[in-house]
Structure 1
Amino acid sequence: MTKYVELDVRSEIGELEGVILHTPGSEVENMTPENAERALYSDILNLSVAQKEYKQLSGSLNEITQTYQVKELLANILKDDKVKEIIVDKVCKIEPELAVKGNTYCIKDILLDHTAEDLASLLIEGVTLTRDNLTKFLSKERYAMRPLHNFFFTRDASMSVVDEVLIGKMANAVRDRESLIMQAIFDYTPGFKAKTVNPIDNPNMDPNCMIEGGDVLIAREDILIIGNGTRTTTQGIDFILAQLLSQKEEKQRHILVQELPAHPESFIHLDMVFTLLDKDKCMVYEPLIIRPNKYQTVHITIQNGKVVNIKNENNLLQALKKLGMELKPIYCGGTKEPWNQEREQWHSGANFFAVGPGKVVGYARNIYTMEEMNKNGFEIIPADDVISHKINLADYEKYVITLDGSELPRGGGGARCMTMPIRRKAVNW
């Protein structure tokens, strides 16, 4: 019987007590160079290698905390026929081309005929197109319902914020089904005891509203850091602001907004240039986060249901210091060569996932970043040594669990992108 933990996330670094993962499956391999860009990839992945690398992540986390797999959680709620029909109806509404009136091929009926386990697979891996008329026979599409190529990046479609789950309003429609699935998991899994908040449920939602989890970081219970770029718009941040304002708390709360470049594509989310590592340390891509540039850092202060101040800050670290969080930056790619900084940022060198204060996971391939981590007191520990029990993590105060990263980084993300935490212990600040 699955052991569920109640949702509660109040920081990026609190000791991890529950996390949702999705092991990449055939949906990752169901693309070609021709359609990779539409799937938001710049390259195609080798599935067997990607799965081997992913097992280092999931295997390490299994040794540390309670883990859940998206497909298993989805299959579990689909065992309820009423829930099954509700979810399939929603899928057909967001992808109306699936069930055209008068069409002899109605995907809804096909989906409902499957068992919960098989349906969970189809909703993630896609449904192949039945070529039963001339139009479909000549179509270059392979799928009637496209695979969710990006779903192993579970961070983006839902975000744990204190005791609620904010559902992502994805920047690209190809990922909308991910948000639908994650909301269904939280809405229909009683053990999580989670309330979901979805922008699309608000009739007054701005059509330009976009929010993805890679841009939303909880620095402290009273401080959100949010990236504003190609995946999270100002309208999306205003939606989050409105949610906080509606709570009308006497205690001040803060949103720090960091503008991000539209190019290169490795800057798609804030966690590709900035992540929190410990109570007093963070990982930064120095050219954007520290060096003076044209990308603004905006500080919004709210209290008693009102915005009491909104102003520019010099940079994120200075803004956090004013709020009592003095962080030492560790440089992605090292401190010497901009060349190395650019190369390692491209391969998710700044994208670390914390399993506790000073205890993180990242890619081994970013050697200059790892050298900087080691200089700052982090022991470098290969994931295979954790899984094989060659080492005991309890023997180390600070560490980086390193994953092999030849295929997974080519999907455009790192350890934080591939994890959706649902419970962390409180941090003793």
Structure 2
Amino acid sequence: MGFQIKIKSEIGKLRAVLLKRPGKEIENITPATMHDLLFDDIPYLSEAQKEHDRFAEILRQNGTKVLYLDNLITEVLKNRNVKSNFISQMITNSGFTDGTTAIFLKEYFSNLRPNDLVEKLMTGLRKEEVGGKLKNLRGFPEIDTDPFVMAPMPNLYFTRDLASVIGQGASVSNMTFKVRKRETIFLEYILAKHPLFSEHAIPYWHRRDDKTQLEGGDILVLNNHVLAVGISQRTSVEAIEALADVLFKNKSGYDTIIALKIPKSHAMMHLDTVFTMVNYDQFTVYPDIMREYRKMDIWTLRSSTKGIKYRKYTDLQEVLKDVLGLSEIDLIYTGNGDAVAAPREQWNDGSNTLTIAPGEVVTYDRNYVSNELLRQHGIKVHEMPSSELSRGRGGPRCMSMPLQREELSQEN
């Protein structure tokens, strides 16, 4: 039976989520390719899988239906016509638009069963696998030392980045870095073709081929009419304005966006690495995103009869109180704001909390200072192991794409 995607808050009880268990693509990272693949280290796959399995177990134990990206796309590709179109799109987006390489790859992938096709695309296709069937791949073999015809996709276990469900619609990401652009093709086909979702018409607030740069980790659905979106390394001002325009004009239910400027760095690549919502009036925040006197560059974009209405803020608490209609805001600082603990735990995704119900979160166990502080503020914390998954620079929120949450009884 199909169900309708619906996310109208960050904190409503999590009912369904999309995950991707790390696979062999992780083992196709090398020291020489780490930087290009956006990794700072190489996780040990066996342990990473155990950690991820524990993450999924915690979610299931708390009433969340866990769906897996690779399982869903495999089911979609059982349709031959869909499979053919999907393969062509993957090949084109891998840089092969025509010629002998494109023709060969089309035939090679078409002969694979759907599950083998999905695994091979995610893991990467090595030149040695096709042997002498295709010569001069990507240039002169004596010069081109890249072992892959098509690169692996090790970032796929960060499903949050691929898209964001906003209300009953979806924003599919236009990924910033070339190495990740193919990832959203999987999600595009799942939402359009899988029977779980195809029974309901899904409005799209942003698409993967839109011109503006937008990623799911920068979007927080604060309530049933307010979003927070990061102006970050991976989401542009133009994308936020375009998103606002589409939401405001298409009866999405959303009339306000808080745009927060954060430092543009790999350590703070998305808004959810420095700021998350954990309860009606409680938020985690990494204090170093603020300047002297706790100031930031923040704007609200609101719907009006004359178009988008802008207002500038510098105080995070002030804008949250004004927009969410709250009298008080409890900001819980990563690492308790300590000069050493805060940056250490932020690097290990201490701010990247996944809220599974009001005042209840999943976090990495390694961030013990932040976790203890959350408990002191009345938050129920489920800790998961994190020695290997954290090497990818993403925490529980990054590794999960919520598809359905319960609506809150008291919406602001």
* TM-score > 0.5 by shorter chain: yes
Using the alignment, how far apart are the partners of 1:351 and 1:10 within structure 2?
A: 19
Shift of 1:24: 0.3
1:316 aligns with: 316
Residue 236 of structure 1 pairs with residue 239 of structure 2: yes
1:87 aligns with: 86
- Asked whether the equivalents of residues 232 and 270 of structure 2 are also in contact (C-alpha less than 8 Å), the reply is yes
The amino acid across from 2:167 in the alignment is V
Residue 423 of structure 1 pairs with residue 400 of structure 2: no
Using the alignment, how far apart are the partners of 1:183 and 1:104 within structure 2?
A: 22
1:257 aligns with: 259
Shift of 1:168: 0.3
Name the CA shift for 1:331/1:290 in 2 (closer, same or farther; >3 Å).
farther
Name the CA shift for 1:83/1:407 in 2 (closer, same or farther; >3 Å).
same
Name the CA shift for 1:7/1:154 in 2 (closer, same or farther; >3 Å).
same
Shift of 1:294: 7.0
Shift of 1:290: 7.9
Residue 346 of structure 1 pairs with residue 347 of structure 2: yes
The amino acid across from 1:256 in the alignment is I
Shift of 1:40: 0.5
1:117 aligns with: 115
Using the alignment, how far apart are the partners of 1:230 and 1:96 within structure 2?
A: 24
Shift of 1:377: 1.8
Structure 1 window deviating more from structure 2 (321-330 vs 8-17): it is: 321-330
The amino acid across from 1:218 in the alignment is V
- Asked whether the equivalents of residues 334 and 371 of structure 1 are also in contact (C-alpha less than 8 Å), the reply is no
Q: How does 1:81-230 map to 2 (within 5 A)?
A: 81-97=80-96, 100-103=98-101, 106-129=104-127, 130-132=130-132, 133=135, 135=139, 137-138=141-142, 139-192=144-197, 193=200, 195=202, 197=204, 199=206, 205-206=210-211, 209-230=212-233
Shift of 1:256: 0.5
2:248 aligns with: 245
Using the alignment, how far apart are the partners of 2:315 and 2:333 within structure 1?
A: 15
Q: Secondary structure at the match of 1:220?
A: coil
Shift of 1:142: 1.7
Aligned residues between the structures: 398
Shift of 1:14: 0.6
TM-score (norm 2): 0.91
Q: Secondary structure at the match of 1:109?
A: helix
The amino acid across from 1:123 in the alignment is L
Name the CA shift for 1:402/1:248 in 2 (closer, same or farther; >3 Å).
closer
Name the CA shift for 1:104/1:67 in 2 (closer, same or farther; >3 Å).
closer
The amino acid across from 1:188 in the alignment is K
- Asked whether the equivalents of residues 21 and 68 of structure 1 are also in contact (C-alpha less than 8 Å), the reply is yes
- Asked whether the equivalents of residues 290 and 317 of structure 1 are also in contact (C-alpha less than 8 Å), the reply is no
- Residue by residue, what CA displacement relative to the aligned partner does 1:132-186 show, whole Å, maximum 9, x if unpaired? 3355643311211111110000001111011111110000111111111111110
Name the CA shift for 1:27/1:280 in 2 (closer, same or farther; >3 Å).
same
Using the alignment, how far apart are the partners of 2:114 and 2:101 within structure 1?
A: 25
Residue 377 of structure 1 pairs with residue 378 of structure 2: yes
1:334 aligns with: 336
- Residue by residue, what CA displacement relative to the aligned partner does 1:87-128 show, whole Å, maximum 9, x if unpaired? 11111221233x641449711111111111111112211212
Using the alignment, how far apart are the partners of 1:8 and 1:345 within structure 2?
A: 29
Using the alignment, how far apart are the partners of 2:156 and 2:124 within structure 1?
A: 12
Q: Secondary structure at the match of 1:96?
A: coil
- Asked whether the equivalents of residues 163 and 194 of structure 1 are also in contact (C-alpha less than 8 Å), the reply is no
Using the alignment, how far apart are the partners of 1:268 and 1:104 within structure 2?
A: 34
Q: Secondary structure at the match of 1:423?
A: strand
The amino acid across from 1:227 in the alignment is G
Structure 1: 5+ residue runs without aligned partners? 379-398
Q: How does 1:256-295 map to 2 (within 5 A)?
A: 256-263=258-265, 265-289=266-290, 292=293, 295=296
1:41 aligns with: 39
Using the alignment, how far apart are the partners of 1:377 and 1:199 within structure 2?
A: 36
1:361 aligns with: 362
Q: Secondary structure at the match of 1:29?
A: helix
Shift of 1:215: 0.3
Q: Secondary structure at the match of 2:395?
A: coil
Q: Secondary structure at the match of 2:320?
A: helix
The amino acid across from 1:428 in the alignment is S
Using the alignment, how far apart are the partners of 2:217 and 2:232 within structure 1?
A: 11
Using the alignment, how far apart are the partners of 2:227 and 2:310 within structure 1?
A: 14
Shift of 1:411: 0.3
Shift of 1:367: 1.2
- Asked whether the equivalents of residues 299 and 311 of structure 1 are also in contact (C-alpha less than 8 Å), the reply is yes
The amino acid across from 1:231 in the alignment is R
Using the alignment, how far apart are the partners of 1:190 and 1:427 within structure 2?
A: 27
Q: How well do the aligned residues superpose, as a CA RMSD in angstroms?
A: 2.1
Shift of 1:54: 0.9
Name the CA shift for 1:110/1:252 in 2 (closer, same or farther; >3 Å).
closer
Residue 410 of structure 1 pairs with residue 391 of structure 2: yes
- Asked whether the equivalents of residues 363 and 395 of structure 2 are also in contact (C-alpha less than 8 Å), the reply is yes
Using the alignment, how far apart are the partners of 2:306 and 2:44 within structure 1?
A: 50
- Asked whether the equivalents of residues 75 and 116 of structure 1 are also in contact (C-alpha less than 8 Å), the reply is yes
Shift of 1:4: 4.1
Shift of 1:225: 0.3
Name the CA shift for 1:95/1:302 in 2 (closer, same or farther; >3 Å).
same
Name the CA shift for 1:201/1:360 in 2 (closer, same or farther; >3 Å).
closer
Structure 2: 5+ residue runs without aligned partners? none
The amino acid across from 1:258 in the alignment is L
TM-score (norm 1): 0.88
